[in-house]
Structure 1
Amino acid sequence: MNTFFILLLVIVILLVIYVAAGFRVVPQNNEGLVETLGKYTRTVKAGFVFIWPFFQRIRRVSLALQPLEISKYSIITKDNAEITTSLTLNYLVTNSYKYFYNNTDSVESMVQLIRGHLRDIIGRIDLNEALGSTSRINSQLSKAIGDLTDIYGIRVVRVNVDELLPSPEIQRAMDKQLTADREKVATIKKAEGAAKNIELTTKAKNDALVATARAKAEAVKTQANADAYRIDQLQASLAKASDGYFRNQSLDSFNHLAEGPDNLVVVGKDEMSNLGAVPAIKKVWDKSDDKK
């Protein structure tokens, strides 16, 4: 009898231990996949859960947002240039059953899908366009992925192309091209500066020549005006002189001629009276010089 009670007590204790071992806790923001003898039975939410030990097991799946970095890999652009890219993304599990049972590695399948779409996007554009259009590539990649990852029970919340780097050979060629472009711009600027300097120098010389010519023209004009004024004064003075004055001047002229070594002078009758105008003209001309 005592043996029976002892055996019964042992069985009760084992049952209590067995039942107690079946209680599980699913943490917050997780789901539990319950399997009975290896077959999916049900999905349980976060909290206190009971399963039958040895016959059932529970697999926990996190529903929290997960960050992921996709390591660098090479892509060929439309113009056959090789570039290296790396990605970062955030994803979360939307269907724990699909995530765990429909694929042996849902995360790796998602990564391969994203890589394939990125290769397709960059493969349709040139190198320069790819290097300068990171934000547009991000937008196109997000649209291309869309709900395709739903078959893995995953939703990509954000995907970002962190960097696009050309191969070392292309980078060296780009550096040389950039240096050549800078030297070209510097040469053009230097030539433009020299041309501008020549233009300004030539303009200054031309302006000086024009100013000199104008000054000379003004001087000639002033001299011509002065000569014209003297001639006008001479004509006015001669017009005011009387005939007797010219006769006296003619006699003086003959006297001066007679005093010279060559005292033989032959003139016409009409020219004799005009000789008196010569000294008169000289006097008027000398007076006008004195006034200047």
Structure 2
Amino acid sequence: MSLVISLGVVIALLLLLGLALTLKIVKQYEQGVLFRLGRLAGTRGPGLRTIIPFVDVLHRVSLRIVTMPIQSQGIITRDNVSVDVSAVAYFRVVDAVKSVIAIENVHAAINQIAQTTLRKVVGQHTLDETLSETDRINLGIREILDVATAEWGVEVTLVELKDIQLPDSMKRAMARQAEAEREKRAKIINAEGESLAAAALGDASDTMMAHPLALQLRNLQSLVEIGVDKNTTVVFPAPLMSTIGELGAFLSREAAAAALPPTPHPVDLAKTARAPGNGSSSLPQNN
């Protein structure tokens, strides 16, 4: 009796083992590639699938998008600047048969070719292009990877530069360049402001020349602004140009008057006529 029970247990275990070897589950995001005696026997979709034990081999391939980080690469740009660039690539299998037959390990192969492509593409650009034109670099890397991996049944959907590390000396040089650029822009803006201010002052002077009372109103406004500070300064406004003109005319008159000879006084002329020895004096007459 015990022998029969033991034999039944062994048979049950063998059936369970055979059932486990015969039934395979392919998940919704997977596709099975079936090999029978080493030859391709087709693909199997999602669900419960049966195979012949020890005859069939089923490889399940994931069709989901895979995120693969590309480790940092030491790259020399076209203008001989050493940078460390890391990126991330997104790809998915579109042909499960090719991904199993055409290449041994598709993930490792894509990782290696992504590193070499990153180094090649970034090395063809200058540092400024690498920092400012990342979209174009990403597109170039993706196109090269897409062509190389098409034979493996893989589609590269996206490549993005993740981090760009610069040497400290280059960071300081770029900081100085940015500071100089901002100073240049500040000087240009200041010069443009001076030009606009000069044009506005010219228009204001033309208005004041056409309307003389406008200058007086401006002087009164200046007095009001000075009086706000509550100081003891006394201001006598006067048109500057007219004051300078009057001062010049006064100095000219004074110089002309100083250059003329002095006019003799009438009293001095009488004293000269009565002086003895003068030929014009009269003598007493005898009758």
Matched, 1:80 2:80: yes
CA displacement 1:58-107 (0-9 Å, x = unmatched)? 22111111111111111121122211111112111111122123212212
CA distance in 1, matches of 2:175, 2:125: 21
Q: Return closer, same or farther for 1:180/1:95 CA change in 2, 3 Å cut-off.
A: closer
**How many pairs does the alignment contain?**
219
Please name the residue that 1:262 is paired with: 275
Q: Return closer, same or farther for 1:55/1:143 CA change in 2, 3 Å cut-off.
A: closer
Please name the residue that 2:113 is paired with: 113
2:246 to 211, 215, 240: 215
Q: Return closer, same or farther for 1:177/1:28 CA change in 2, 3 Å cut-off.
A: closer
Q: Is the 8 A contact 2:89 2:159 kept in 1?
A: yes
TM superposition score normalised by structure 1:
0.59
Please tell me the residue identity of whatever aligns with 1:94.
V
TM superposition score normalised by structure 2:
0.60
CA distance in 2, matches of 1:79, 1:183: 21
SS in 1 for 2:124: coil
Q: Return closer, same or farther for 1:12/1:128 CA change in 2, 3 Å cut-off.
A: closer
Q: Return closer, same or farther for 1:75/1:59 CA change in 2, 3 Å cut-off.
A: same
Q: Which range moves more in the overlay, 179-188 or 50-59?
A: 179-188
Q: Is the 8 A contact 2:23 2:50 kept in 1?
A: yes
CA distance in 2, matches of 1:259, 1:18: 164
CA distance in 2, matches of 1:92, 1:78: 32
The structure where helix makes up a greater share of residues is 1
Q: Is the 8 A contact 1:69 1:88 kept in 2?
A: yes
1:150-189 equivalences in 2 (<5 Å): 150-166=150-166, 168=167, 171-176=168-173, 178-179=175-176, 182=179
Q: Is the 8 A contact 1:34 1:40 kept in 2?
A: yes
CA distance in 2, matches of 1:9, 1:16: 10
SS in 2 for 1:72: strand
Shift of 1:184: 9.4
Matched, 1:27 2:27: yes
Please name the residue that 1:275 is paired with: none
For the aligned residue pairs, the C-alpha RMSD in angstroms reads 4.4
Please tell me the residue identity of whatever aligns with 1:69.
P
Please name the residue that 2:59 is paired with: 59
Q: Return closer, same or farther for 1:210/1:185 CA change in 2, 3 Å cut-off.
A: farther
CA displacement 1:103-147 (0-9 Å, x = unmatched)? 122122222323333333222222222222212211222233333
SS in 2 for 1:262: coil
The percent identity for this pair of structures is 23
CA distance in 1, matches of 2:271, 2:120: 125
CA distance in 1, matches of 2:182, 2:54: 80
Please tell me the residue identity of whatever aligns with 1:20.
L
Shift of 1:181: 6.8
CA distance in 2, matches of 1:48, 1:97: 19
SS in 1 for 2:104: coil
SS in 2 for 1:53: coil
SS in 2 for 1:144: helix
Q: Is the 8 A contact 1:257 1:263 kept in 2?
A: no
Q: Return closer, same or farther for 1:186/1:61 CA change in 2, 3 Å cut-off.
A: closer
